[in-house]
Amino acid sequence: ALSNHTSSGSQGPWAPEKWYSLYTRTRLGYLFYKRQLKKARERYPHGHSYTQAIVFSGVKVVPVPVLSDNYSYLIIDTASNLAVAVDPSDPIAVQTYLEREGATLEAILCTHKHWDHSGGNKALKRQYKSCRVYGSSTDDIPELTHPLKDREQVTVGRLQFQAFFTPGHTVGHMIYLLDGKSGDGPDCLFSGDLLFLAGCGRMFEGSPKTMLESLDTVASLSDSALLWPGHEYAADNLTFAAVVEPDNTVRDRKFQWVLQHRLEKKCTCPSTLGEEKEYNPFLRTHCPDLHLALDLQPGPNEEWGHFRARILEEVRRRKDLFKGR
Ligand SMILES: [Zn+2]
């Protein structure tokens, strides 16, 4: 939702930087979020997309469609019915899902401060008094009780998470990896606005170098990890990916699959990190095909990391200008 208002490129009072500053630093941003919440509840009384829970031994992952294209997630330890919520921005929707599952909210893992990710913390904390709220202390997370450092562990029941500090979209953005081994299943990455299916978040508060380091952290995780992002942006992202890397058959196939799913308003998550590396241009800054398509080559003495950050900057710049978001 935020990106719709920052992509216009217009000058004047609603220029992107000014809008962003109002959204994140003033009460106007909160009021805007409350209005979006109300509009989305009216427009999508049952959520913007059809989602499906996945279950593997002892763990249930439930995507919760909220606002107009966000996803919150419930991760439930099925033995104890203790639940963790990732970015529960619509407290009523999350509460409904918790009741449906008969689960008790034990912890909130917040990826970043933007209201469409953190806006439900306060109401849920009021409802579940002992609920812990995790996130980075550098990111103004509402109701934060447990500030996390890079690679710190979070345990809830038999659920084991590892937090990774991934700044760039915001100064204190974090992502959370659920360890599948505890339940004999796949690892699950909750990536917030760092990484989407075929896309990445806007670099509101970080340089391309910082964002690249954060994306490299993702790339270092297991290829079999399931990706559960913060937004349903797959169709737009793959449309853009086709522009910067026209000859990619893996991407073509995924695009057809996504279009079919979106015709039926089905959720396109999860993909896997292995898949993403094949078609997500933001994870492919090392690929010669992409360099050619962008018409960029490394300078004679240019360090490889510096060059890749330049590629990332250019892909992000083109995506910002791309119609849609
Ligand atoms: Zn955000």
Residue 146 is predicted with a pLDDT of: 98
Nearest Cα neighbor of 74 from 92, 57, 56, 87 is 87
Cα torsion at 256, 260, 265, 267 (round to 10°)?
Answer: -50
**Catalytic residue (choose from 77, 90, 114, 173):** 114
- Residues 129-153: tens digit of each pLDDT: 999 999 999 999 999 999 999 999 9
Residues of the chain with pLDDT under 70: 1-15, 182-183, 324-325
Residue 183 is predicted with a pLDDT of: 57
The answer to whether 231 is a known catalytic residue is yes
Look-up: residue for tokens 């999350």? 94
What is the distance between the alpha carbons of residues 104 and 71, in angstroms, rounded to a whole number? 19
User: For residue 257, what are the CA distances in angstroms to 187, 213, 254, 265, 274?
Assistant: 23, 30, 5, 12, 17
**Catalytic residue (choose from 117, 139, 173, 291):** 117
Residue 55: in which H helix or E strand, if any?
A: strand 54-56
Residue 17 is predicted with a pLDDT of: 76
| Domain coverage including residue 123 | 2-321
Residue 1 is predicted with a pLDDT of: 47
Give distance in angstroms: CA of 116 to centre of ligand 1. Answer: 7
pTM (2 d.p.): 0.94
- Residues 229-288: tens digit of each pLDDT: 999 999 999 999 999 999 999 999 999 999 999 999 999 999 999 999 999 999 999 999
The answer to whether 116 is a known catalytic residue is yes
Q: What share of the chain is helix, strand, coil (3-state, %, to 5)?
A: 40, 20, 35
Do 50 and 246 contact (CB within 8 A), yes or no? no
The CA radius of gyration of the chain, in Å to the nearest whole number, is: 19
Residue 9 is predicted with a pLDDT of: 43
The domain that contains 236 carries what CATH number?
3.60.15.10
Q: How many structural domains are present in the chain? A: 1
